[in-house]
């Protein structure tokens, strides 16, 4: 690879350094000028909306290309079934870890929040309005074929992409021109996404300044114990549970995988939304050597069913509120309440503030007298949502590699080369034309891009 190519790729480092500077600046502005800081909130909202705008097209292109190029439809069904089963099991494990840590640390013990703001009832209404299981299933089918790409519903985009992918697959050689057209569309989509990502520093500044301006540093400090315990629990889950599973099954280091996804983690922290990194996760898993069919099914499914971080959050927040209200939950009540929350959270998947709304809805259904305690959590929910998003994102990345290993749809040698930084990810195009081909093809393609 030429020095010119390396120099041009390195320019993207300035973008993520700018994000770090913007986050620090946002904290300072929110602390020193809280009133003015809250006026910057639209900047963060606009940036996240721009990213969400691209999620449907990214999922559509990835899945259609993946399924359309596979001759055996059973492969897709096997991947999807494994993905859902895996996510359910891991969410249950995460729930158990949250229970154990919450009962050991008891972060809410000794507090008196009986007079806290009664914000829980409104949040409970939000959870109920999100609907139950049948509403969740019903909403998977869009009103029109094209609306699935415009409503921002991940599962609707996934559903339509599966239909189109299988239809193109059934067309055989006749459908090859369609696949070539979708491949060109994918390049266009990722080019637009790269342009949008250069606005990340502005979005990060607006989002962080608004949060700090509203809560203040004192509000965060008062709930530091809960936040620290939650973050540590998420770290243990990612590097302990997921890391051990990843190494035992795929012989892949979780530390190398996290390093490979470092920019995506930074983007999530800046926006407090794992959706902002979804398109890049799809592109990076594809580049790493996981077949497009597996990536296209596992990643979108994980964003709706993978609730590792949310499960830990619901567990610890429930215990915290009960202890802070002086009405601790028994083990039986904990299990019943949290099983309800895990099921209910499926209906709220993809809804902004779903974790907090599901927490309120569960407390209202099982222990209504604890509902008012949710008001204490509201102030730090945004900060805790970052850990939820990071944990869920890590779970999706690990799941993609694991399921790729189980279904033999991953190039193990390429995974090692990518994680060892021998095959760098192209930040300018985010698309590999040479997926599954020797490194020489990538070298040729990169030189062509430089000359273009």
Which string of DSSP letters, residue by residue, matches 314-370? HHHHHHHHHHHTT-PPPHHHHHHHHHHHHHHHHHTTT-TTHHHHHHHHHHHHH-GGG
Q: Is the CB of residue 234 less than 8 Å from the CB of residue 314? A: no
Sign of CA dihedral 411, 417, 419, 422: negative
pLDDT value of position 65: 76
Query: Closest Cα to residue 407, out of 12, 117, 79?
Result: 79
Could you tell me the CA-to-CA distances from 25 to 33, 41, 217, 269 in Å, in that order? 11, 14, 14, 14
DSSP assigned state of 53: H
pLDDT value of position 331: 76
Least confident piece of the model among 6-15, 161-170, 407-416, 442-451:
442-451
Whether 11 has a pLDDT exceeding 50, the answer reads: yes
DSSP assigned state of 274: G
- Rounded to whole angstroms, the Cα distance separating 394 from 382 reads 19
- pLDDT category at 332 given cuts 50, 70, 90 is confident
Q: What is the pLDDT of residues 55-72, one digit of tens each?
A: 778 778 877 876 776 555
- Rounded to whole angstroms, the Cα distance separating 239 from 234 reads 9
The residues that bridge with 410 in the sheet, in sequence order, are: 290
Q: What is the mean pLDDT of residues 325-353?
A: 63
The residues that bridge with 290 in the sheet, in sequence order, are: 410
Whether 260 has a pLDDT exceeding 90, the answer reads: yes
Least confident piece of the model among 264-268, 326-330, 357-361:
357-361
Q: 352 — alpha (psi -120 to 50), left (phi > 0) or beta? A: beta
| Per-chain mean pLDDT for the chain | 74
**Most confident stretch, 73-77, 89-93, 379-383:** 89-93
């Amino acid at each position: 690879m030429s020095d010119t190519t390396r120099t041009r790729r390195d320019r993207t480092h300035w973008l993520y350094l700018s994000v770090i500077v913007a986050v620090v600046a946002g904290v300072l502005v929110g602390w020193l000028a809280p009133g003015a800081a809250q006026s910057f909130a639209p900047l963060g909202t606009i940036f996240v909306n721009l990213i969400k705008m691209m999620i449907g097209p990214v999922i559509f292109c990835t899945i259609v290309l993946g399924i359309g190029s596979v001759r055996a439809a059973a492969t897709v069904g096997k991947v999807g079934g494994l993905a859902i089963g895996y996510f359910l099991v891991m969410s249950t494990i995460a729930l158990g870890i949250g229970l154990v840590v919450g009962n050991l640390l008891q972060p809410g013990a000794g507090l008196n929040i009986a007079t806290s703001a009664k914000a829980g009832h409104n949040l409970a209404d939000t959870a109920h309005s999100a609907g139950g299981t049948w509403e969740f299933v019903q909403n998977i089918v869009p009103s029109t074929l094209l609306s699935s790409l415009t409503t921002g519903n991940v599962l609707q985009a996934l559903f339509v992409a599966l239909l189109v992918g299988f239809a193109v697959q059934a067309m055989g050689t006749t459908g090859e021109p369609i696949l070539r057209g979708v491949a060109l569309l994918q390049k266009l989509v990722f080019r637009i996404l790269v342009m949008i990502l250069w606005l990340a520093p502005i979005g990060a500044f607006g989002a962080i300044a608004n949060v700090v301006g509203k809560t203040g540093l004192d509000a965060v400090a008062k709930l530091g114990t809960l936040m620290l315990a939650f973050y540590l629990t998420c770290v243990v889950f990612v590097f302990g549970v997921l890391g051990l599973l990843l190494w035992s099954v795929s012989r892949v280091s979780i530390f190398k995988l996290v390093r490979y996804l470092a920019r995506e983690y930074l983007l999530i922290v800046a926006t407090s939304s794992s959706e902002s990194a979804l398109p890049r996760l799809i592109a990076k898993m594809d580049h790493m050597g996981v077949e497009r069919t597996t990536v296209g099914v596992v990643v979108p499914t994980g964003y709706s069913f993978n609730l590792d971080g949310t499960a830990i959050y619901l567990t610890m927040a429930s215990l915290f509120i009960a202890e802070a209200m002086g009405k601790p939950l028994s083990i039986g009540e904990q299990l019943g309440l949290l099983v309800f929350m895990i099921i209910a959270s499926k209906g709220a998947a993809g809804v902004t503030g779903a974790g907090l709304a599901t927490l309120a809805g569960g407390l209202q259904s099982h222990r209504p007298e604890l509902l008012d305690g949710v008001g204490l959590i509201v102030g730090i929910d945004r900060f805790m949502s970052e850990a939820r998003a990071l944990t869920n994102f890590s779970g999706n990345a690990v799941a993609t590699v694991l399921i790729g290993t189980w279904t033999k749809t991953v190039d193990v040698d390429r995974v090692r080369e990518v994680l060892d930084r021998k095959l760098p990810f192209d930040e300018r195009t985010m698309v590999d034309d040479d997926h599954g081909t020797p490194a020489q093809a990538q070298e040729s393609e990169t030189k062509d891009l430089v000359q273009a």
